[in-house]
Amino acid sequence: MDNDNRLAVRMIAWVTAVCLLGDSMLYIVLPVYWASFGLDALWQVGILLSINRFVRLPLNPFVGWLYGRLPKRTGFLLAVVLACLTTFAFAAGTGFWVLLAARALWGAAWSMLRIGGYLAVLEASGGGQRGRLLGSYNGIIGVGSLIGMLAGGLLADLIGVRFVALLLGTVTLAGLPLAWRYVPATTAAPVNQTASGSLRSALNAQAMLTLASGFMVGVVFYGLLIASLSPLIAAHLPGGQPLPIWGFALGAASVAGLVQALRWAWSPFLSPLIGRWSDGPRGRLPIYLAALGVAACGMALLPLPLPFAPWLAVLLCVMLANTAINTLTDALAADAAAGGSAVAYMTTYTTVVDVGAALGPVAAFALLGAFGLPGIGAAAAVLTALMAGAWLLWRRSPAGRSACSRKEAGLANQ
């Protein structure tokens, strides 16, 4: 692997990570300190934390179109500026409508960062390194989310929520020189594009399955699991009481925050490792199918009345599988994009994931009201198992066997 390409991808990931600081902080701070931002009711918190996802749905195709015509460096610089402005808005602005506009701008910034990051990885990698690069990219992004959450949780009481936003917005400015130095000043072009390399010609069975997997990841892991995590933990705490750890009494929300922080903490180490394994001669599918199987079984077990210690072990296994599934789904999408229209396919993939992430919380609370926690667990387990079954059927089909053989032959010739 070319060292310059690897460095460029890592620095682009760091640009994205610093831009995520303010967004991640809000998920910790806003539900607790909403009155400090001039909000009148908790429902406004829910809208502010979700509007960026809905904004991305119509914006993703436009951003993909822009990346086909503007240098990637321009897109990243604009994204960093928007990320700074949206974080500073929570330091200076007051009132629902001002903050709603800021969160909508963050949705635009994230579309530019995410689609641009995928395209940069595609440009920098060949098939034999794509999983490793995407794993490293996702892992570094996780560092930004972890630092933002920790800063929000630890500093809000010490210096105030507005000063936390001001501090993180200032740190985000560091993304400007990084983007100027390391993001290529080239327009995004499809990788290995043939004369008929349109999105339609790229949508074979494998590419369609990858889009379906992206939707499943959005619904299950960004929606059903995260939305139900605190209620699940509350239902399994011994005696329904806070958990005593090192002299602290941790309630369900605190334990959920620790679990999320742990997931972001191991991501920089596990994601590149999983990606590198998937670049090997056996390909991505064996690891992907195993991760989907572990996740499906774990989801089915989570609502059961297990003792807290084994239940927590099951939850951590699900989170580990989640890390693998996120990395491998992105890698499969990059594989599909490399065979056709890169910009169009990665834009479609990003939009599909965002649709799932937007619908997931709605489905979670609907299931929670109708069927309780067992309904959420069953729905998540069934969706994940169906996805595993679909990939298994494809792998055993003539097209799947042929694709796997080409993968092994290509690696053997490298």
Q: What is the pLDDT of residues 342-374, one digit of tens each?
A: 788 888 999 999 999 888 888 887 888 888 889
Q: How crowded is residue 346: how many other Cβ atoms within 10 Å of its Cβ?
A: 29
199-412 classified as CATH 1.20.1250.20:
yes
The more confidently predicted of residues 128 and 52 is 52
- Per the prediction, the chain carries an average pLDDT of 84
pLDDT digits (tens, 9 = 90+) for 69-90: 888 899 999 999 999 999 999 9
CA distances from 120 to 25, 136, 211, 334, 345 (A): 26, 13, 20, 11, 14
pLDDT digits (tens, 9 = 90+) for 10-43: 899 999 999 999 998 888 788 778 888 888 887 8
pLDDT digits (tens, 9 = 90+) for 180-195: 998 888 776 544 444 3
- d(CA 291, CA 320) in angstroms, rounded, equals 8
Residues of the chain with CATH 1.20.1250.20: 3-182, 199-412
The percent of residues above 70 in pLDDT, for the chain, comes to 86
3-182 classified as CATH 1.20.1250.20:
yes
Residues 349-362, buried b or exposed e (16+ Cβ, 10 A)?
Answer: bbbbbbbbbbbbbe
Give one word for 95, left, alpha or beta, with left for phi > 0 and alpha for psi -120 to 50.
left
pTM: 0.84
Q: How confident is the model at residue 289 (pLDDT cuts 50, 70, 90)?
A: very high
- The per-type count for the chain, helices as H runs and strands as E runs, is 16, 2
Give the mean model confidence (pLDDT) for residues 280-290.
90
User: 124: which residues sit within 8 A by CB, 6+ positions away?
Assistant: 2, 5, 6, 8, 9, 133
Percent helix / strand / coil, the chain, rounded to 5? 85, 0, 15
pLDDT digits (tens, 9 = 90+) for 94-142: 789 999 999 999 999 999 999 988 888 887 776 567 888 888 898 999 8
The more confidently predicted of residues 321 and 228 is 321
